[in-house]
Amino acid sequence: MLSDSQIKDLELKAVAIRESIIEMLVAAGSGHTAGPLGMTDIFTAMYFHILNHDPKNPDWTERDRLILSNGHIVPVRYATMAHAGYFPVPELLTLRKFGSRLQGHPEREKLPGLENTSGPLGSGLSQASGMALGLRMDGRKNHIFCCMSDGELDEGNSWEAIMFAGNNRLNNLTAIIDRNNIQIDGTTETIMPLEPLADKWRAFNWHVIEIDGHNFNEIVDAVNLAKTIVEKPTVIIAHTIPGKGIKEIEFDYRWHGAPPGAGPEDVWKKAEQGNEMLKELRTLQGKIEGGHLD
């Protein structure tokens, strides 16, 4: 169990990271909004509590490795890495711009600490499995995490990897599914139904844990439990809210691929979207007075 002060610290980090995500997307003028906001709590827990890592030594051989499979949510990874000390926070505003290390989809060689190149869906879990297998061959204890989306489970390559990791009992591998129920064209269950999702993974010889992806205790407990499962890999199905933190866009699949400034105008005009979202984050959805409103 995390202490109250640990949880408070993680929550404050997550708010700051969400603000950075909005600022980055506004500056970039393109990119995905819903997924990064939905995975912010998990990335915050990863970089500020779970991962064995060193931001000043990204190639440290003893580090745990976090593979990002659905590369389009990389703003959350960039923002979290910057806040964790991998690179200066102001560099976040170079996202998607010419000459930036922060490519629209992540490229391993561009930015130390990224671990893998991704964007085209369905290949991250395989890469994570290969790393986990290589580490096991050498008797190393590092843990591999793979953050992936629910939508990319439409890809055959995903299931090839699920079958492979289950067959090889890769207990040093933990997959975390961003179960936010949306993909670009609509909800997962209308586009290509995934349920019963947990049963499918169990049938492929994975240990399954389902959590609230916004509850830091559940996130940390699930990872701790996963590390004790020795006979198979573990998948954490993290139920998340797309657009989490900004209630006007939560659950709305139309914000999957739109940045603030280009989203649907039900609530705010395009030109107001960035500032309104930041205001909402900085006031914790109106619960407090913003300490640093523009």
Partner 1 sequence: MLNPIAKLNDKTLDPKSLDQKATRDGFGIGLVEAGNLDENVVALSADLKESTRVEEFSKLFPNRFIEMGVAEQNLATVASGLANYGKIPFITSYATFSPGRNWEQIRTTIALNNVPVKIIGCHAGVSVGPDGATHQALEDVAIMRVMPNMTVIVPCDMNEAKRATLAIAKSGKPAYLRLGREKTAVFTTDETQFEIGKSEIMFGDLADADIGIVACGTLVHNAILAANELAGEGINAVVLNMATIKPIDREGLVDLAKSAGAIVTCEEHQIAGGLGGAVAEVLAEEHPVPIEFIGVRDQFGQSGTMAELFNHYKLDVESIKNAVRDALKRK
| Interface residues toward partner 1, by CB under 8 A | 67, 107-109, 115-120, 122-123, 126-135, 137, 156-157, 160-161, 163-164
Of 125 and 277, the one with the shorter C-beta distance to partner 1 is: 125
Of 20 and 103, the one with the shorter C-beta distance to partner 1 is: 103
CA–CA separation, 188 and 211 (whole Å): 18
- State in angstroms the smallest separation of the CB of 15 from partner 1: 33
CA–CA separation, 227 and 271 (whole Å): 46
CA–CA separation, 12 and 14 (whole Å): 5
Inter-CA distances, 45 with 3, 213, 220, Å: 14, 10, 7
Residue owning tokens 């139920």: 239
- State in angstroms the smallest separation of the CB of 201 from partner 1: 16
Of 142 and 217, the one with the shorter C-beta distance to partner 1 is: 142
Contacts 24+ apart (CB under 8 A), 270-276: 274/22, 274/23, 274/25, 274/26, 276/248
- State in angstroms the smallest separation of the CB of 63 from partner 1: 11
Of 106 and 151, the one with the shorter C-beta distance to partner 1 is: 106
- State in angstroms the smallest separation of the CB of 73 from partner 1: 16
- State in angstroms the smallest separation of the CB of 154 from partner 1: 14
CA–CA separation, 197 and 235 (whole Å): 11
Alpha helices per DSSP H over the chain = 4-28, 34-38, 40-45, 74-84, 124-137, 156-167, 188-191, 197-203, 216-228, 270-282
CA–CA separation, 54 and 35 (whole Å): 26
Of 142 and 275, the one with the shorter C-beta distance to partner 1 is: 142
Of 165 and 226, the one with the shorter C-beta distance to partner 1 is: 165
How many helices (H) does the chain have, and how many strands (E)? Answer: 10, 7
- State in angstroms the smallest separation of the CB of 59 from partner 1: 11
